[in-house]
Structure 1
Amino acid sequence: MDLSTAEQILIEQRVTNESKSTAVAYLLWIFLGGLGAHRFYIGRVGSGLAILVLTILGILLAPFHVGTVFLVPAVIWALVDAFLIPGMIRQEKDEVRNTFGKQMYAERLIAAERRG
Protein backbone atom coordinates (compact mmCIF):
# COMPACT_ATOMS: atom_id res chain seq x y z
CA MET A 1 0.00 0.00 0.00
CA ASP A 2 1.61 3.22 -1.15
CA LEU A 3 -0.07 6.24 0.42
CA SER A 4 0.90 9.86 0.02
CA THR A 5 2.08 11.92 2.97
CA ALA A 6 -1.23 13.78 3.07
CA GLU A 7 -3.13 10.49 3.19
CA GLN A 8 -0.88 9.20 5.98
CA ILE A 9 -1.44 12.39 7.98
CA LEU A 10 -5.19 12.03 7.50
CA ILE A 11 -5.03 8.43 8.71
CA GLU A 12 -3.01 9.43 11.79
CA GLN A 13 -5.56 12.16 12.59
CA ARG A 14 -8.36 9.60 12.40
CA VAL A 15 -6.37 7.18 14.57
CA THR A 16 -5.88 9.92 17.16
CA ASN A 17 -9.57 10.83 17.09
CA GLU A 18 -10.99 7.31 17.12
CA SER A 19 -8.58 5.23 19.18
CA LYS A 20 -8.86 4.57 22.88
CA SER A 21 -7.05 6.56 25.56
CA THR A 22 -4.45 4.89 27.77
CA ALA A 23 -5.35 7.28 30.61
CA VAL A 24 -9.04 6.35 30.46
CA ALA A 25 -8.15 2.65 30.33
CA TYR A 26 -6.00 3.03 33.47
CA LEU A 27 -8.72 4.98 35.27
CA LEU A 28 -11.19 2.22 34.49
CA TRP A 29 -8.61 -0.33 35.61
CA ILE A 30 -8.06 1.46 38.92
CA PHE A 31 -11.73 1.91 39.79
CA LEU A 32 -13.45 -0.98 37.98
CA GLY A 33 -10.61 -3.35 37.07
CA GLY A 34 -12.11 -6.22 39.02
CA LEU A 35 -15.16 -5.99 36.78
CA GLY A 36 -13.11 -5.94 33.56
CA ALA A 37 -14.27 -2.43 32.60
CA HIS A 38 -10.89 -1.53 31.09
CA ARG A 39 -11.12 -4.54 28.75
CA PHE A 40 -14.66 -3.64 27.69
CA TYR A 41 -13.43 -0.10 26.94
CA ILE A 42 -10.54 -1.34 24.81
CA GLY A 43 -12.86 -3.66 22.89
CA ARG A 44 -11.84 -6.98 24.44
CA VAL A 45 -15.36 -7.97 25.39
CA GLY A 46 -14.74 -11.69 25.79
CA SER A 47 -11.95 -11.36 28.32
CA GLY A 48 -13.78 -8.49 30.03
CA LEU A 49 -16.77 -10.79 30.45
CA ALA A 50 -14.50 -13.52 31.84
CA ILE A 51 -13.12 -11.21 34.54
CA LEU A 52 -16.63 -9.99 35.33
CA VAL A 53 -17.96 -13.55 35.69
CA LEU A 54 -15.00 -14.60 37.87
CA THR A 55 -15.55 -11.62 40.16
CA ILE A 56 -19.30 -12.11 40.44
CA LEU A 57 -18.94 -15.85 41.12
CA GLY A 58 -16.26 -15.10 43.69
CA ILE A 59 -18.46 -12.62 45.52
CA LEU A 60 -21.54 -14.85 45.38
CA LEU A 61 -19.64 -17.91 46.58
CA ALA A 62 -17.66 -16.12 49.30
CA PRO A 63 -20.17 -17.07 52.04
CA PHE A 64 -19.56 -20.73 51.16
CA HIS A 65 -15.76 -20.31 51.47
CA VAL A 66 -15.08 -21.14 47.83
CA GLY A 67 -15.21 -17.59 46.50
CA THR A 68 -11.44 -17.23 46.60
CA VAL A 69 -11.18 -19.90 43.91
CA PHE A 70 -12.73 -17.36 41.54
CA LEU A 71 -11.56 -14.08 43.08
CA VAL A 72 -7.84 -14.90 43.13
CA PRO A 73 -7.60 -15.49 39.35
CA ALA A 74 -9.67 -12.35 38.71
CA VAL A 75 -7.37 -10.25 40.91
CA ILE A 76 -4.21 -11.71 39.37
CA TRP A 77 -5.61 -11.15 35.87
CA ALA A 78 -6.47 -7.53 36.72
CA LEU A 79 -2.99 -6.94 38.17
CA VAL A 80 -1.30 -8.40 35.08
CA ASP A 81 -3.47 -6.12 32.94
CA ALA A 82 -1.73 -3.12 34.51
CA PHE A 83 1.28 -4.09 32.41
CA LEU A 84 -0.72 -5.16 29.35
CA ILE A 85 -2.87 -2.04 28.89
CA PRO A 86 -0.29 -0.03 26.87
CA GLY A 87 0.21 -2.94 24.46
CA MET A 88 -3.53 -3.47 24.09
CA ILE A 89 -4.02 0.24 23.31
CA ARG A 90 -1.13 0.14 20.82
CA GLN A 91 -2.62 -2.93 19.12
CA GLU A 92 -6.04 -1.25 18.94
CA LYS A 93 -4.44 1.84 17.35
CA ASP A 94 -2.63 -0.37 14.82
CA GLU A 95 -5.92 -2.04 13.91
CA VAL A 96 -7.61 1.35 13.44
CA ARG A 97 -4.63 2.57 11.38
CA ASN A 98 -4.70 -0.57 9.22
CA THR A 99 -8.46 -0.31 8.64
CA PHE A 100 -8.29 3.34 7.60
CA GLY A 101 -5.21 2.69 5.45
CA LYS A 102 -6.99 -0.04 3.54
CA GLN A 103 -10.08 2.13 3.21
CA MET A 104 -8.02 5.08 1.92
CA TYR A 105 -6.19 2.85 -0.56
CA ALA A 106 -9.45 1.31 -1.83
CA GLU A 107 -10.99 4.76 -2.27
CA ARG A 108 -7.96 5.88 -4.25
CA LEU A 109 -8.19 2.81 -6.52
CA ILE A 110 -11.91 3.42 -7.12
CA ALA A 111 -11.25 7.08 -7.95
CA ALA A 112 -8.45 6.11 -10.36
CA GLU A 113 -10.69 3.54 -12.00
CA ARG A 114 -13.43 6.12 -12.56
CA ARG A 115 -10.96 8.56 -14.10
CA GLY A 116 -9.43 6.19 -16.53
Structure 2
Amino acid sequence: MDVQRELLIEQRVANEAKSPLIAYLLLIFLWGFGVHRMYLGRWISGFIMLAIWGVGWLTVPILIGWPAVGFIAIWCVIDLFLIPGMIRGDREDIRRRLRW
Protein backbone atom coordinates (compact mmCIF):
# COMPACT_ATOMS: atom_id res chain seq x y z
CA MET A 1 0.00 0.00 0.00
CA ASP A 2 2.90 2.38 0.74
CA VAL A 3 4.41 1.83 -2.69
CA GLN A 4 1.09 2.60 -4.37
CA ARG A 5 0.67 5.76 -2.26
CA GLU A 6 4.20 6.93 -3.16
CA LEU A 7 3.52 6.31 -6.86
CA LEU A 8 0.34 8.37 -6.64
CA ILE A 9 2.23 11.16 -4.87
CA GLU A 10 4.96 11.17 -7.53
CA GLN A 11 2.32 11.25 -10.26
CA ARG A 12 0.67 14.27 -8.64
CA VAL A 13 4.08 15.94 -8.25
CA ALA A 14 4.76 15.42 -11.96
CA ASN A 15 1.36 16.88 -12.87
CA GLU A 16 1.41 19.85 -10.49
CA ALA A 17 5.08 20.93 -10.58
CA LYS A 18 6.16 23.92 -12.63
CA SER A 19 7.77 23.25 -15.99
CA PRO A 20 11.46 24.13 -16.33
CA LEU A 21 10.93 24.72 -20.06
CA ILE A 22 8.25 27.33 -19.45
CA ALA A 23 10.35 28.98 -16.73
CA TYR A 24 13.35 29.25 -19.07
CA LEU A 25 11.22 30.52 -21.96
CA LEU A 26 9.72 33.21 -19.73
CA LEU A 27 13.19 34.18 -18.53
CA ILE A 28 14.66 34.33 -22.02
CA PHE A 29 11.81 36.19 -23.75
CA LEU A 30 10.54 38.39 -20.89
CA TRP A 31 13.71 38.47 -18.83
CA GLY A 32 13.55 41.90 -17.17
CA PHE A 33 9.89 41.68 -16.26
CA GLY A 34 10.39 38.97 -13.60
CA VAL A 35 7.55 36.83 -15.00
CA HIS A 36 9.65 33.68 -14.61
CA ARG A 37 9.89 34.32 -10.86
CA MET A 38 6.15 34.95 -10.59
CA TYR A 39 5.50 31.70 -12.49
CA LEU A 40 7.71 29.84 -10.00
CA GLY A 41 5.77 31.25 -7.05
CA ARG A 42 8.27 33.93 -6.03
CA TRP A 43 5.81 36.78 -6.39
CA ILE A 44 7.55 39.36 -4.22
CA SER A 45 10.93 39.09 -5.92
CA GLY A 46 9.16 39.02 -9.30
CA PHE A 47 7.37 42.29 -8.56
CA ILE A 48 10.58 43.83 -7.20
CA MET A 49 12.35 42.83 -10.39
CA LEU A 50 9.52 44.31 -12.47
CA ALA A 51 9.56 47.58 -10.49
CA ILE A 52 13.34 48.03 -10.76
CA TRP A 53 13.20 47.17 -14.47
CA GLY A 54 10.40 49.68 -15.09
CA VAL A 55 11.98 52.50 -13.09
CA GLY A 56 15.33 51.77 -14.72
CA TRP A 57 13.97 52.10 -18.23
CA LEU A 58 11.91 55.18 -17.33
CA THR A 59 15.03 56.93 -16.05
CA VAL A 60 17.42 55.79 -18.81
CA PRO A 61 16.78 58.97 -20.86
CA ILE A 62 18.24 61.04 -18.01
CA LEU A 63 21.11 58.55 -17.73
CA ILE A 64 20.47 57.38 -14.16
CA GLY A 65 18.55 54.23 -15.07
CA TRP A 66 21.42 52.24 -16.53
CA PRO A 67 22.63 50.82 -13.18
CA ALA A 68 19.12 49.50 -12.46
CA VAL A 69 18.83 47.93 -15.91
CA GLY A 70 22.31 46.42 -15.51
CA PHE A 71 21.42 45.05 -12.07
CA ILE A 72 18.35 43.30 -13.48
CA ALA A 73 20.39 41.92 -16.40
CA ILE A 74 22.88 40.39 -13.94
CA TRP A 75 20.00 39.08 -11.79
CA CYS A 76 18.54 37.35 -14.88
CA VAL A 77 21.86 35.70 -15.72
CA ILE A 78 22.09 34.40 -12.15
CA ASP A 79 18.50 33.12 -12.39
CA LEU A 80 19.54 30.96 -15.35
CA PHE A 81 21.43 28.87 -12.80
CA LEU A 82 18.87 29.16 -9.98
CA ILE A 83 15.81 27.90 -11.88
CA PRO A 84 16.60 24.17 -11.43
CA GLY A 85 16.82 24.64 -7.66
CA MET A 86 13.57 26.61 -7.63
CA ILE A 87 11.85 23.77 -9.52
CA ARG A 88 13.28 21.18 -7.09
CA GLY A 89 12.01 23.24 -4.15
CA ASP A 90 8.57 23.46 -5.72
CA ARG A 91 8.47 19.68 -6.16
CA GLU A 92 9.56 19.11 -2.55
CA ASP A 93 6.83 21.46 -1.31
CA ILE A 94 4.23 19.50 -3.27
CA ARG A 95 5.53 16.19 -1.86
CA ARG A 96 5.41 17.53 1.70
CA ARG A 97 1.89 18.83 1.20
CA LEU A 98 0.67 15.52 -0.23
CA ARG A 99 2.27 13.33 2.45
CA TRP A 100 0.32 14.99 5.25
TM-score by length of 1: 0.83
Give the Å deviation of 1:64: 1.0
Query: Identity rate of aligned residues, in percent?
Result: 43
Distance 1:24 1:73 in 2: 23
2:62 corresponds, among 47, 59, 64, to: 64
1:20-50 superposed Cα distances (whole Å, 9 cap, x missing partner): 0001100001101110011010000011111
Runs of 4+ residues over 6 Å off in structure 1: none
**Match for 2:63: what amino acid?**
H
- Provide the C-alpha distance between the structure 2 equivalents of 1:60 and 1:34, rounded to a whole number of angstroms: 13
CA shift digits 1:65-99 (9 cap, x unpaired): 10112111111101100000000001001001110
Gaps of 5+ in 1: 103-116
Q: TM-score, length-normalised on structure 2?
A: 0.96
Give the Cα–Cα distance (whole angstroms) in 2 for the partners of residues 79 and 51 of structure 1.
Answer: 13
Equivalent position of 1:28 in the other structure: 26
Stretches of structure 2 that go unaligned for 5 or more consecutive residues are none
- Which entry has the higher C-alpha Rg, 1 or 2? 1
Specify the SS of the correspondent of 1:43: coil
The alignment's C-alpha RMSD in Å is: 1.0
